[in-house]
Amino acid sequence: MGDSNGSGMDRRALLGGAALGAGLIAGGVAAAPQAAEAQVLFPKAGGGFGGPFGGGGSVAGAVCRSENDLYDCEVEGKLPADLDGVFYRVGPDPQYPKPPQWTMDIPFDGEGHISMFRIKDGHVDFRSRYARNQRWKAQHAARRSLFGMYRNPATDDPSVKGLSRGTANTQIVYHHNRLFAMKEDSPPVAMDPLTLETTDDYYTFGGGMKSLTFTAHPKIDPHTGEMIAFGYEAKGFYTPDIEVFSCDKTGKVNWSAWVKSPYTCMIHDFGVTQKHIAFLATPLAANQELLAKGGPHWAWDSSLPSYLGVMRRGGDGSDIQWIKGPGWMATHTMGAWSEGDKLYFDVDGAPGNQFPFFPSVHEPFDPKASVGRVVRLTADMSTKNPDGYGRETLFPQITGALSRQDDRYHTVPYRWGILNGGGWNLLDHQTGKAQTFTLPGAMLAEATFVPRHRNAPEGDGYLIGVASHMKENGRSDLLIVDTQDIAAGPIATVHMPYRVVGQIHGLWVPGDQLPKHA
């Protein structure tokens, strides 16, 4: 989940959504679902679902919806001849307009539309496809929206009871020759990494995963090739249960443990090291009163504390310590590692609610408190029942969200981080220096790191991501900048003739890791 998607992010729309949410908290009554209009027509006014932000990262109130193929895209500049791989992206792209009573739905509720730029031999081919998950198929057959408010099943059309509500719109991961599109309220959707054909609309690792949910941000251990993941609300709606598990290179689940969160809240990402697993529980909490009124799943409850939960990786979970701290919020992991019993866990944190469309229980949304910075959390696990956890802001001059790293350094000490906000910020933890790339007149989606080649040192390579040009109705370019000098601008620009589907997160997969029939 994130907030930078190459869209014309409209503050009024976001605040309008917050006001609607606040109304629900204050006692607004939602109408029962009704049949959609026979004709398909998205709302033209901003602020509603399908509006500037809700339009799946699109602009001017438009959604995308068009599944496209473009062979041999235009390329300006010098695309490295040896650059070989796929840049995948995913974001919410509403399949159908919501019925009128759910047009205030939040931007994260659109159906997952995955796109890929296949780069090889100096050429770029583009393809985009929706995840054909259970939700997409039901709505496609009905030719209308059947799912109401974000993660609120009581608002659904009765015909979809029992189907997975997952949108598969948040992030993708590639593991055991499968591409997975993920939404944290449901199991992943498996897709063919070369064609984007959906191959499994409810993937459970051969039954090895017992959780009913799966994070959008699993981690890959660079030493073992294992994928480590978790699901929260793992035993169903409202439940505090978390399953954390790993699978080997073949997808076989080889470790699983169950723990309980101190309260049921959004746990969007987590920290994985060679030794520890870390969860951060923050006050964006499940709010049953809000849900009963037809609202979204979460509300910001500033009266709640935070907890940093740390457990031994590979254990049974009984050793987890939930270390209490002040109420604040973080959404994404930049990196995490352990030194002995000490955990280091870097996140994109902010003092308050980072998502204005999730209503606040006690006070109005505070834009200043939503601004994210890199925050380093520390905990010494040799101490039983520690008083608190360490929390230090790094690079205080750099603000943003959607923290990333060179993905080859999951679970181990790392040097280079990326923070997205107003531009692409490349942060050097060794020197404390930051480089920033900006493109005036364009919105930049999240940057993803691409190694220069298989054995390139950490951080040596490219940042890749999509720019949407505001004066061209959001027309898209794919930008590739060299991490040796990102301020110099793109070394290559892939000019798309249209606005590509929006994005929350992206993923680079090197060509030599793709299935052999590539």
Query: Based on CB atoms, which residue is closest to Fe ion, 1 or 253?
Result: 1
We find the least distance from the C-beta atom of residue 113 to Fe ion, in angstroms, to be 16
Instruction: Answer for the pair 348, 375: CB distance below 8 angstroms, yes or no.
Output: yes
Cβ neighbours of 136 (radius 10 Å): 21
**How far apart are CB 370 and Fe ion at their closest, in Å?**
16
Compare residues 102 and 358 and give the one whose CB is closer to Fe ion: 358
- Residues that bind Fe ion (rule: CB under 5 A) add up to a total of 2
Write down the least CB distance from residue 216 to Fe ion, Å: 5
Nearest residue by C-beta to Fe ion?
1
Q: How far is the CB of 108 from Fe ion (least distance, A)?
A: 10
Rounded Cα distance, 478 and 480, in Å: 7
Q: Does residue 181 touch Fe ion according to CB under 5 A?
A: no
User: What is the distance between the terminal CA atoms of the chain, rounded to a whole angstrom?
Assistant: 30
CB 299, min distance to Fe ion, A: 19
Site for Fe ion in 2-61 (CB under 5 A): 2
Judged by DSSP in three states, 276 sits in strand
Cβ proximity to Fe ion: between 165 and 183 the closer is 183
- Strand bridging mode 112-120 / 85-92: antiparallel
Give the residues across from 479 on adjacent strands. 465, 493
- Which of 64, 164, 76 has its CA nearest to residue 115? 64
3-class SS shares of the chain: helix, strand, coil, % to 5: 10, 35, 55
Q: Which of 474, 455, 452 is nearest to 463 (CA)?
A: 452
Count of helices and strands (H, E) across the chain: 3, 33
User: Contact with Fe ion (CB under 5 A): which of 1, 14, 160, 196?
Assistant: 1
Q: Which is nearer to Fe ion, 126 or 214 (CB)?
A: 214
Neighbours of 457 (CB within 10 A): 11
What lies within 8 Å, CB to CB, of 516 at 6+ separation is none
> DSSP string spanning 351-367?
SS-S-TTSPBSSS---T
At its nearest, how many Å lie between Fe ion and the CB of residue 198?
21
Task: Map the footprint of Fe ion across residues 112-151, applying CB under 5 A.
Answer: none
- Which segment (1-9, 40-48, 125-133, 296-304) binds Fe ion by CB under 5 A? 1-9
Residue 139 or 167 with smaller CB distance to Fe ion: 167
Tokens 């449901």, located at residue: 186
Q: Which is nearer to Fe ion, 103 or 403 (CB)?
A: 403
Least CB distance to Fe ion at residue 350 (A): 14
Nearer of residues 62 and 504 to Fe ion, judged by Cβ: 504
State the residues that interact with Fe ion by CB under 5 A.
1-2
